[in-house]
Amino acid sequence: MAIQSTGIGSGLDVNSIISQLLAIESRPLARLQETASTTQTQLSTYGALKSRIAALGDAAEKLATAATWNKTRATSADTAALTVTSSGSATPVNLQVEVTQLAQAQSVATSRLPSAAASVGTGTLMIEFGSWNQDFLAFTPTVPLKSATVVIGSGEDSLAGIRDKINAADAGVTAAILNDSQGSRLVLRSTATGAESGFRITATDDDANPLDDSGLSRLAFDPPGGAPASGNQRAVDLVASVNGAPVVSASNQLDDLVDGVSLQVARTTTGPVEVNVARDTEAMKALIQQFVGAYNEANKFLADQTRYNADTKTSATLQGDRVAVALQGQLRSLVATGSSASPVFDTLSSAGISLQRDGSLKVDDGKLASALANLPELAKLFSADGGGNPLAVGIARRFDALADLNAGTGGALESREDGLKQRLSRNRTEQERFNDRMAMVEARLRAQYTALDSRMAQLNGLSAYVSQQVDLLNRSSNGS
């Protein structure tokens, strides 16, 4: 670090003098820094405002969407047996559903072997799909024929090896090994449910006798053909009735049982189960309250940021800001402006959403509940496209458009942010230039005071010399 020795020759506090001079010169820099701080605060405030207006736009967009007003809610009187779901395309309806038989897959257990590692035999298994009659005495193949061939070679003919070959074939049948105290069995099950997911298995056994209970033929399942079988479960369809009309399905999932309504059946019922599909007014009420909350949040933020405190004589960050003040007025104007889309509900207040003295909105639950009982007209108030008539545009659509105009890409708030960012950039450049100039001023002052200090040192030295000579002269004159 350089040692500043300025002032030694002159006796002046040069560093203090230079510091005071620089402090006077740097006053414009303090103003620049204060402006930068204010601008940064404004930029942050605009970011927060933009976020709130975007949230208001998102809430309004949901109410401006026709699908919102078509939402349905499906309920089942026996959720353990029936689970019901509905989509926006569903029409409100009441159904009585009775299930007497669940759809199930076919399952077959083969005869036992000593263990999963025991050799079964080699050859080919043919798996054909179709339906069995009640007693497994008649098999009807699917049309067109659906089948799979699994070849069992040497070294893969253990029970475990055959299980793996069947599963790898992805043939519509899965295999597992069931172990108990008497040995191991192969359990085969169709991957789908329904009567036509049944299957039969025939074996081309390398021991040349496909009908005995040895070799690969012990895994065959074709009761009419005499092949061995045990522990089997027949594949059957779901059997039910809806409002007395018979319903048959290969699956326990009934998609679009009626338009937009699906049922998942878990068990049979002891009688008819009431299933109800109605408009989901609770979901719609929640979206309206979300919209009101988003509006109130934006309104309060604008009020806080644009107010002037007469007591403290201080202005909020956006007090007098033309963009913020204009936006505040636009929001309140939209609340007060009605829509001619519905002859029943022409303003928010007519639907139970009233403007308060502080500019916020308040929901009258009773009045809103009455409005929700007339969904088609309430939907028009919020979501009507106007059909070319601007006076008939839904209020939510107007809020959505206003939010997009201000908080969307290229919107008023983004433009204001860009302007503030540019102001900050210019300010930084000015500060950098000013700091460079101050460095030059400091260098000049130090050079001047260094030269002064040097000159003062020379003069002090000359003064001391002259004083010495005069003193010597006086002594000589006194006869010393």
Residues 349 and 335 in one domain: yes
Residues 214 and 315 in one domain: no
Residues 300 and 323 in one domain: yes
Residues 118 and 198 in one domain: yes
Is residue 61 a part of any domain in this protein?
Answer: yes
Q: Which domain holds residue 362?
A: 29-67+283-414
Residues 333 and 321 in one domain: yes
Residues 115 and 163 in one domain: yes
pTM, to two decimals: 0.69
- pLDDT of 151 reads 93
∠ CA 292-296-302, nearest 5°, is 145
- pLDDT of 276 reads 95
CB 251 within 8 A of CB 194: yes
Q: Which of the listed residues 233, 253, 270 is the one where a domain comes to its end?
A: 233
- The CA dihedral of 61, 65, 70, 76, to the nearest 10 degrees, is -40
Residues 242 and 98 in one domain: yes
Residues 118 and 223 in one domain: yes
**Nearest of 206, 211, 210, 214 to residue 113 by alpha carbon:** 214
Rounded CA separation 173/194 (Å): 14
Is residue 85 a part of any domain in this protein?
Answer: yes
Residues 270 and 288 in one domain: no
Is residue 438 a part of any domain in this protein?
Answer: no
Is residue 420 a part of any domain in this protein?
Answer: no
- pLDDT of 174 reads 95
Rg of the chain on CA atoms, in Å: 45
Residues 272 and 297 in one domain: no
Q: Which of the listed residues 367, 388, 414 is the one where a domain comes to its end?
A: 414
Is residue 15 a part of any domain in this protein?
Answer: no
CB 163 within 8 A of CB 177: yes
Q: Total domain count for the chain?
A: 3
Long-range Cβ pairs for the range 367-370 (8 Å, 24+) = 368/285, 368/288, 369/285
Is residue 440 a part of any domain in this protein?
Answer: no
Residues 121 and 160 in one domain: yes
pLDDT beneath 70, residues of the chain? 1-14, 22, 26, 210-213, 224-231, 449, 453, 457, 459, 461, 479-480
- pLDDT of 78 reads 96
Q: Which of the listed residues 246, 279, 312 is the one where a domain comes to its end?
A: 279
Is residue 167 a part of any domain in this protein?
Answer: yes
Is residue 41 a part of any domain in this protein?
Answer: yes
Residues 224 and 270 in one domain: no
Give tens-digit pLDDT for 6-18.
Answer: 444 456 666 777 7
